[in-house]
Amino acid sequence: MPAIDPDDLPKKKITHEMGQDLALLSVGELAERVALLKDEIARLEAEMTRKRASQTAADAFFKK
């Protein structure tokens, strides 16, 4: 039976848990986490902007 090549295994998706112990992470891993969290913040802010615009349009439409 041939040996399994580690490069053929599926890559584990990077995740971050709030309050997670960071002591065992390398500087590179920490940088990946920071980038991941910055991307998520941008996504959340974009959604807030979209929802605010929708709310403003609804308020204007239903204004007395």
For residues 47-53, give the mean pLDDT. Answer: 97
The b-or-e profile of 2-36 (16+ CB within 10 A means b, else e) is eeeeeeeeeeeeeeeeeeeeeeeeeeeeeeebeee
How many domains is the chain partitioned into structurally?
A: 1
Average pLDDT, the chain: 88
* Element (DSSP H or E) covering residue 43: helix 27-62
In a domain, 62, yes or no: yes
State yes or no: pLDDT of 36 exceeds 60: yes
- For the chain, what percent of residues have pLDDT higher than 70? 95
State yes or no: pLDDT of 64 exceeds 90: no
For residues 40-52, give the mean pLDDT. Answer: 97
pLDDT for the residue 15 = 82
For residues 28-45, give the mean pLDDT. Answer: 95
In a domain, 4, yes or no: no
In a domain, 11, yes or no: no
Q: Give me the domain span that covers residue 55.
A: 30-64
